[in-house]
Structure 1
Amino acid sequence: MSTSPIAKRTVLDRDWQFSQVSSQHWLDVKESWNPCKVPTSVHSELKKLGKIPDPYKDLNEWEVQWIQEGDWVFKTSFDIDEFQLKQDNVDLLFDGLDTYCTIVLNGRTIATTENMFLSHRVSIKGVAQAKDNELELRFASPWHEARLAEEKNGGPKPLWNGASNRLYSRKAQYGWGWDWGPIIMTVGPWKDIHLETYPARIGDVRIDTTLTGSQYNVASLNAAIVIASSTSNAYKLDVTLKDAAGHVVKSVSGHSPLDAMKWDFKDGEIDGWYPRGYGEQPLYTLEIQLKDKDGALVDQSVKRVAFRSAKLVQEPLHDQEGTSFVFEINGIRVFCGGSNWIPADNFLTEIEPGRYKKWVELLVRGNQNMLRVWGGGVYEADELYDACDEYGILVWQDFMFGCGLYPSYPQLNDSIKSEAEQAVIRLRDHPSVVIFAGNNEDYALAESIGVMDYNDNSGNYMNSKFPARHIYEVLLPEVVDRLSTVFYHRSSPYGGKTSADQTVGDIHQWNVWHGTQEPWNNWDNLAGRFVSEFGMQGYPDLRTVNEWSDDKSQLFPQSRVSVNHNKADGFERRLELYLMENFRHAFDMPSYVYYTQIMQAECLGAAYRLWRRNFKGRGKEYTSGALVWQINDCWPCVSWAIADYYLRPKPAFFSIARELLPYTVGIARKDIKKLKDKTTSAFSEIHQEMQLWGCNSTLVEKDVLVVLETYNLSTDKRDKQSFNVKLSANASTEIWAGQVPGQPIRTTDAQVPEPIVVQARLYDPTKPDIVLARYSNWPEPWKYLTFPEPNLKVKVNGDKVELSSEKPIKGVVLDVEGEDAEWSDQALDLFPGDTQVVHAKGLNRRAVSTRYIGDGSA
């Protein structure tokens, strides 16, 4: 019996060359053939050859725009041994071609492509030869091909971000430029190319698992295994399920591929997969061997399997209108605190192995449990989804449509259907993937221009003013329902009377920064049932700023280079709006980095704190998720990201992490003005009121001691009180409400309120030396405060940094000279008597510097 499969796959990654070639757009191009790797892109290869400058530096983005308007050819040659050539099937498999490509083998056109997201299997039986097969990939200009498709199929249509021809191209939309990314339209073979030969092979493998029962401890597995052969009944399958330790859980031999396979497991025989924080993430391996009638191994497949049940609950709520929008995994309703994801680079082929996993590990460090893969990028690399499976990060997956009124016509829809089928088949077996959404903000755009008619439920939309409804309401749901058990959602945002309805579905809350530009202390009024986008900009680490130019004279906030590295319209006005409303700040680059980062940290921390409070238990899930825009960047820039291109977390990353701990404590305060009676506007009382609450994301109630302390910055007067509280399981709990201790009632707006800092600390009564959570609430805006000298003490012992102060301090950020250390916390508020410890990997005996609000450096 053969010990290696007869089916053989060979990666064609050697002896490639590329060159620009003449076309109708570029006449008389002098061909220049240079060796290259594959997968790759033209930009990457030209940069390595020194023929273009680094597009991420200075203004160089604009020096490389010509690349997307040229035609390019990649070519190689390869041999096929006689045994392979004699197989019934000889295929070339192209995992991804970016984007418009004519494939030529030995002078014969064997396929054409126009969708970056599709893989292509092409039979070359009868075309291939044993020696010197010449393979050419002729890539046409993506810019011009998209322009021609636009002209042919209806002309320009409304959109946000980029150029209108992108709507006619099944190419990653962010490459046309976005409000956080450059215009870089890549060209080339962006995924692997294989030669495959076989008499039969394992094709599509669909695995559906469920976890049921009162304790969700009864499991089942259904597998449908398709064999690519005209005589599939001549083959048999051996299938084995193993646990993480390699122990066989169940197996079957000689199974017919014509029959679906169903396995039921006894109570407790299989362990369920849970989101992080709610249980473990056991992963199993399903090994499949395809054998011929003589028992020879023909092909084999290894699939990772996990057992869980997931659904999205949308049901009426107690005491509020609308319905919930809450993910329920194995019967547990989960508050989803997480992030949005954009592509990690403009040059996807330069993302080194392990980088996706590092991003997911960063999510874990930040106590996050959901990642939304945004619809203007790509269906991401397997490494990202695999890491989410391993770490228990739920995945919200958009289809690749974003911010546009997309056309809908037969040729395009056929391509989209194939794209959707391939995406669903590839992603459906990941336990982390719990929702497919049709697009990003396309219904919101349609509403904004008056073409969305919610009264039209005819199903006949291709000739309407919003033709892409056919894609989102007919085509995509059919594919998802046919090929998976994953929930389908028409759009993000979507639900209710409009996509901005705060009582139904999900919303994108951009009335902080965009829209009405609300102050962030209004986040409580801006809540939705699930907030799948919101954000605030902040500069990246100063080290990252230094990367975008070698000309140090350009490293100030208002330079041409700095401005080019922030793509958001009106960003200077909006940054300054929020800075000036809240801080006194300077304009040198270190100060600007610090204050925009602290602003971002305070803003986003407040959103998670106030919205998690709305997760009040079963039937009262008034807000069930908050996904910040965004976790990452695709180049070194200023954006809404909470970690920059180099995976350097901003202070906001840590403020969010604190609000997503298993136990948290929160405070809100507001001035309440009460007129003496209805006959006067001059005589009133102004009360400063506060509310105190706690959150518990564990599945058991928790007895806690809450200590509430106040400190008057002007008089040094202190007050203290405590509460014994039982925090409800998997919910928030209201603790106390009343006047801010020590704050007198004012009778006129001319009376300045006392500058009282309020700190709440949460303890486990059985471990009184350990602070489970803390939060310091400072009077806002901070620009009115006179910060006292705090006498900050920094004690370093190895990788442990101990911080203490004699008076309250706001916004402490730690740093070192040289390469950054890995900090366990940042953007800290200190309170006298409450020593905080930060762990830092990689200090290497370096001195730790500090910066905080009011330290005199602004």
Structure 2
Amino acid sequence: MALPSTIHPLNFNWTFKRGDCTSRSDYLPANPAPTEVHLDLLKIKLIENPFQDLNELSVRWIADEAWTYRTIFPNPPDHGKPGVATEMIFEGLDTFASVYLNGDLILESENMFVAHRVDVFKQLVQQNSADQNILEIVFFSARQKGLELVRQHPEHRFIVHQTETSRGPVRKAQYHWGWDWGPILMSCGPWKPVSLETYTMRIEDVWIEYELSDDLRTASGSVFARIEGKAGKAKLSLEIETQECRKIFYFGLENLNDPFEAQFGGLPIDLWWPRGYGPQHLCTVTATLTSQDMQTVISQCTKTIGFRKAELIQDTDAHGTSFYFRINNADIFAGGSCWIPADSFVTRLTPSDYRDWIKLAAEGNQIMIRVWGGGIYESEAFYEACNEFGILVWQDFMFACANYPAYPSYVSSIETEALQNVRRLRHHPSIVIWAGNNEDYQIVERYGLEYRFSEDKDPESWLKTNFPARYIYEYLLPKVTKKETKGVPYHPSSPFGNGTSTTLKVDPTVGDIHQWNLWHGDMKPYQKLPEMGGRFVSEFGMEAYPHVETLEKCITREQDRYPGSMAMDFRNKAIGHERRLVSYVVENFRIQYDLPGYTYLTQVMQADAMAWAYKSWRKQWGIQGKRQCGGVLVWQLNDCWPTMSWAVVDYHLVPKPAYYAIKRAMEPVAISVSRKFNDWTMRPADELWKRDTSHIDMRKVWSDVEFSVWVSSSRLKRITAAVVVKFYSIKSGRETYQSITRDVEIQPNGTTDIIFDTKINPVPKYQDPNCPYDISKADPFAIHASLWVNGKEVAADVSWPDPIKYLSFPDRGVEVKYSDDKTSLTVSAAKPVKAFVMSEKQGIKVSDNGFDIMPGENKTVAVEGIGADKLEWRYIDM
């Protein structure tokens, strides 16, 4: 008789020590598995918190040591019974590991992203013995192993950006070597569960392949199950359960060699939609093994799926080649963000942590998240949350910023890694694209590696070049994804154009781009972002500090809490951050160099950059058939430790004002106003001196006002609305020009131009040529655009004269009132207010932040986690 398959987790009784099995070091208590060595050392206070002060430096030695983990456990109850297999499951070992069971070597692993199953029937103690089993796992230094592999493969040109070359041949989360936003914390340990399974037969996997009917109301395809064990007297059922119906298919188990397949057709279904386009209907596919009489469940596997149609549209058009997503026949502007691992020590992340992160992204009107290739294939909880909240996932394979090798054992490991992870994740409807790597083709261009896209189409020949990883990105990975996951496109890299544009030079006509001429590269003003877009902007960003409370948690000494202190500079890993960040701040704002003041200015500057990018690139979404820009993903949503970085939400899930700027720009229906940018930083005073001067032309700073107003809508139906545009004197708060009111029809799922490149004439003459030059007579104004539907304001936006630092904001007449229960506050002002920011903290939530206030406007903000009257706030020039 077939016995039920039983999993026995080996979570507890773990100890660890420094060195390998032969080391005389004492075993010390470890956390329950999964765990990793830094957290275990921290728990027993053998190291200081590496997230605080300069402590990262004091724990670097850990990466160069071997560490042994040990647990003791009894035999599982069914072990030794006739026909019962006993296997040990290692879902993830980080990274170079030798595994011993009762003294026998049973496994050697060298890939963090690969799971292992090992038959341990012979290694377990005798069934009737009173002895316990001893499992020991020796983790060797990934850094030292990496350096050794580099020496062993002189035929390959190892090029590694961000970190030392040792990470190039090692299949470990690449950010562990440090990045320009994260620390060098190379941990090790059983980072995923370890368990024993006993079974006679077990379901290895269940999955579904389907196509939707033209009207998207029914699905046809197959359900598959793969079974392991010995054929016997049992039954297999494959079940699809949707909101509409339930279908069950039965099989005998005479042959277990091939996957079982049940075909179906005309299955009525409800669609899974991205957030804002429809509900996220989910259903289940279940494989069940039972006894012949169906009274005993032997093994069962259930996957939650969603039916949807996903396409990447790459058509030739007036701008080159399009790049946007079409889900369920609806074009989707994919505004969102890039994701890095949410902790340097991912074993302490919980399913609720992942859900909180994805919920926060969804509440910020983000619709896509890109899992970056230098981290990990994320936890099931991450993708389940994306399924729940309707967040599309762009999934990179785990390669980033390097010229990776492709010797046989490495390629073999990569193929196993790809197979396992694609199979593990393929049921998630949220995953709509797989990409081969992050920025590896930029390495090709920068170093002139061999790459003849059009001329050389032989994958075997690619292995003989100094860019052998082309074999991985353009042959191996697309082969795996095509075979294992149907209906999900593959993209060779992010960024990648068409093979001839791959895209160090940032080709705006084809593929996706990483736009780093903001912050990096040319360090262009963020006001130029509208002209720096492409067909899909999959990375760009601007740094900012987190809120002061977050900095105070990680920088513990009061004397270190100032911009530019050793502790502050050490924490910011971005190259040249001192010059770059202060340059952007001082270029735009009156500098304040105390910690609260400077923190605030960096945040407002980052938020302004996000507003310029998202509203302008969303404008380029255009209309159906004319999609110039298909999406924008900020680098980055999150941090892996408390720091100042490009993240728009800090390590403790506390949003920066930039998060809210994105939220406003990505509202389902958003109005935007923008004036033509006069680059005061570069404009010469006289065209004759153009080549060798960069004088500021004060005559151009507040004149030649040319502005545009447009509405962006992701709604799939037309909307009748009214647009109101007003012009407020920043000095007096009075309206300086006659307001504009227009009744409009808002285009569905596109951009509607309301006012296009219109000048305000005449420009006020504030300078008498016969008098001394007096800029104080100027009367600069803010432009406020609002959108009204059925008499209610549904969206608003403000355009300010640049730079803000030339403006003065005295006597704003700001008034803040609180609701009786202190769950909300309402802000008003007599004169225009720029960037009203409340100091958020962990556990506090506000509905909006970093907003502008115009005269006559009442801005109400909901507050959770603290009385609204307890919040601190400030605005520009307060």
Relative to the length of structure 1, the TM-score reads 0.93
Match of 1:720 among 718, 739, 746: 739
Tell me which residue corresponds to 1:45.
40
Q: Contact conserved, 2:825 with 2:868, CA < 8 A, in 1?
A: no
Q: Does 1:664 align with 2:670?
A: yes
Tell me which residue corresponds to 1:744.
764
Task: For 2:464 and 2:553, locate their aligned partners in 1 and report how far apart those are by CA, in whole Å.
Answer: 49
Q: Does 1:694 align with 2:714?
A: no
Unaligned runs of 5+ in 1: none
Q: Contact conserved, 1:336 with 1:624, CA < 8 A, in 2?
A: yes
Tell me which residue corresponds to 1:271.
270
Task: For 1:380 and 1:672, locate their aligned partners in 2 and report how far apart those are by CA, in whole Å.
Answer: 44
Task: For 2:624 and 2:150, locate their aligned partners in 1 and report how far apart those are by CA, in whole Å.
Answer: 49
Q: Does 1:469 align with 2:470?
A: yes
Match of 2:333 among 324, 332, 335: 335
Using a 3 Å threshold, how does the CA distance of structure 1 residues 468 and 819 change in structure 2: closer, same or farther? Answer: closer
Q: Contact conserved, 2:541 with 2:635, CA < 8 A, in 1?
A: yes
Tell me which residue corresponds to 2:543.
537
User: What is the CA deviation profile of residues 691-715 of structure 1, one whole-angstrom value per residue up to 9, with x for unaligned ones?
Assistant: 1111111000111100000012245
Tell me which residue corresponds to 1:612.
618
Q: Contact conserved, 1:713 with 1:788, CA < 8 A, in 2?
A: no
Q: Does 1:88 align with 2:84?
A: yes
Match of 1:252 among 249, 261, 267: 249
- In the TM superposition, 1:673-692 aligns within 5 A as 687-692=704-709
Q: Does 1:808 align with 2:832?
A: yes
C-alpha displacement of 1:149: 1.0
Q: Contact conserved, 1:687 with 1:745, CA < 8 A, in 2?
A: no
Tell me which residue corresponds to 1:513.
519
- In the TM superposition, 1:94-493 aligns within 5 A as 94-129=90-125, 130=127, 131-154=131-154, 157-214=158-215, 216-231=216-231, 235-243=234-242, 249-254=246-251, 259-266=260-267, 269-295=268-294, 296-317=296-317, 320-453=318-451, 454-458=453-457, 459=459, 460-485=461-486, 486-493=488-495
Tell me which residue corresponds to 2:694.
none
Task: For 1:297 and 1:828, locate their aligned partners in 2 and report how far apart those are by CA, in whole Å.
Answer: 58
Using a 3 Å threshold, how does the CA distance of structure 1 residues 467 and 793 change in structure 2: closer, same or farther? Answer: same
Task: For 1:430 and 1:346, locate their aligned partners in 2 and report how far apart those are by CA, in whole Å.
Answer: 25
Tell me which residue corresponds to 1:781.
803
Q: Secondary structure at the match of 2:417?
A: helix
Task: For 1:777 and 1:85, locate their aligned partners in 2 and report how far apart those are by CA, in whole Å.
Answer: 75
Q: Contact conserved, 2:20 with 2:68, CA < 8 A, in 1?
A: no
Unaligned runs of 5+ in 2: 691-696
Q: Contact conserved, 2:173 with 2:374, CA < 8 A, in 1?
A: yes
Using a 3 Å threshold, how does the CA distance of structure 1 residues 751 and 723 change in structure 2: closer, same or farther? Answer: farther
C-alpha displacement of 1:833: 1.2
Work out the percentage of aligned pairs sharing the same amino acid: 38
Task: For 1:760 and 1:188, locate their aligned partners in 2 and report how far apart those are by CA, in whole Å.
Answer: 55
C-alpha displacement of 1:236: 2.6
Using a 3 Å threshold, how does the CA distance of structure 1 residues 132 and 680 change in structure 2: closer, same or farther? Answer: closer
Task: For 2:286 and 2:207, locate their aligned partners in 1 and report how far apart those are by CA, in whole Å.
Answer: 13
Q: Contact conserved, 1:443 with 1:452, CA < 8 A, in 2?
A: no
Task: For 1:508 and 1:344, locate their aligned partners in 2 and report how far apart those are by CA, in whole Å.
Answer: 22
- In the TM superposition, 1:19-98 aligns within 5 A as 19-21=17-19, 30-86=25-81, 87-98=83-94
- What code does the residue aligned with 1:808 have? P
User: What is the CA deviation profile of residues 122-151 of structure 1, one whole-angstrom value per residue up to 9, with x for unaligned ones?
Assistant: 011222223411111111111111111111
- In the TM superposition, 1:545-560 aligns within 5 A as 545-560=551-566
Task: For 2:654 and 2:489, locate their aligned partners in 1 and report how far apart those are by CA, in whole Å.
Answer: 34
Q: Does 1:652 align with 2:658?
A: yes
Task: For 1:819 and 1:180, locate their aligned partners in 2 and report how far apart those are by CA, in whole Å.
Answer: 21
Task: For 1:137 and 1:442, locate their aligned partners in 2 and report how far apart those are by CA, in whole Å.
Answer: 33
Q: Secondary structure at the match of 1:709?
A: strand
Using a 3 Å threshold, how does the CA distance of structure 1 residues 14 and 672 change in structure 2: closer, same or farther? Answer: closer
C-alpha displacement of 1:680: 14
Q: Secondary structure at the match of 2:562?
A: coil
Q: Contact conserved, 2:450 with 2:465, CA < 8 A, in 1?
A: no
- What code does the residue aligned with 2:122 have? G
- What code does the residue aligned with 2:134 have? E
Q: Contact conserved, 2:20 with 2:138, CA < 8 A, in 1?
A: no
Q: Contact conserved, 1:211 with 1:272, CA < 8 A, in 2?
A: no
Q: Contact conserved, 1:273 with 1:431, CA < 8 A, in 2?
A: yes
Task: For 2:376 and 2:356, locate their aligned partners in 1 and report how far apart those are by CA, in whole Å.
Answer: 19
Using a 3 Å threshold, how does the CA distance of structure 1 residues 120 and 554 change in structure 2: closer, same or farther? Answer: same
Tell me whether 168-177 or 789-798 shows the greater mean CA deviation. Answer: 789-798
User: What is the CA deviation profile of residues 645-665 of structure 1, one whole-angstrom value per residue up to 9, with x for unaligned ones?
Assistant: 000000000010000001111
C-alpha displacement of 1:235: 4.0
Q: Secondary structure at the match of 1:210?
A: strand
C-alpha displacement of 1:31: 3.6
Q: Secondary structure at the match of 2:838?
A: strand
User: What is the CA deviation profile of residues 451-482 of structure 1, one whole-angstrom value per residue up to 9, with x for unaligned ones?
Assistant: 15334433221121211111111111111111
C-alpha displacement of 1:401: 0.3
Task: For 2:572 and 2:514, locate their aligned partners in 1 and report how far apart those are by CA, in whole Å.
Answer: 21
C-alpha displacement of 1:29: 6.1
Task: For 1:69 and 1:748, locate their aligned partners in 2 and report how far apart those are by CA, in whole Å.
Answer: 72
Q: Contact conserved, 1:405 with 1:466, CA < 8 A, in 2?
A: yes
Q: Does 1:762 align with 2:787?
A: yes
C-alpha displacement of 1:308: 0.6
Q: Secondary structure at the match of 1:300?
A: strand
Tell me whether 293-302 or 584-593 shows the greater mean CA deviation. Answer: 293-302
Task: For 1:758 and 1:823, locate their aligned partners in 2 and report how far apart those are by CA, in whole Å.
Answer: 26
Task: For 2:688 and 2:63, locate their aligned partners in 1 and report how far apart those are by CA, in whole Å.
Answer: 70
C-alpha displacement of 1:221: 4.3
Q: Contact conserved, 1:212 with 1:309, CA < 8 A, in 2?
A: no
Tell me which residue corresponds to 1:823.
846
Match of 1:843 among 866, 870, 876: 866
Q: Contact conserved, 1:76 with 1:134, CA < 8 A, in 2?
A: yes
Task: For 1:672 and 1:383, locate their aligned partners in 2 and report how far apart those are by CA, in whole Å.
Answer: 47
Tell me whether 30-39 or 383-392 shows the greater mean CA deviation. Answer: 30-39
Task: For 2:175 and 2:275, locate their aligned partners in 1 and report how far apart those are by CA, in whole Å.
Answer: 30
C-alpha displacement of 1:542: 0.8
Q: Contact conserved, 1:688 with 1:745, CA < 8 A, in 2?
A: no
Tell me which residue corresponds to 2:630.
624
Relative to the length of structure 2, the TM-score reads 0.91
Q: Secondary structure at the match of 1:440?
A: coil
Tell me whether 618-627 or 748-757 shows the greater mean CA deviation. Answer: 748-757
Task: For 1:706 and 1:778, locate their aligned partners in 2 and report how far apart those are by CA, in whole Å.
Answer: 19
Match of 1:796 among 810, 818, 821: 818
Q: Contact conserved, 1:672 with 1:688, CA < 8 A, in 2?
A: no
Q: Contact conserved, 2:207 with 2:285, CA < 8 A, in 1?
A: no
User: What is the CA deviation profile of residues 403-456 of structure 1, one whole-angstrom value per residue up to 9, with x for unaligned ones?
Assistant: 011111001010000000011001111000011000000001211111153344
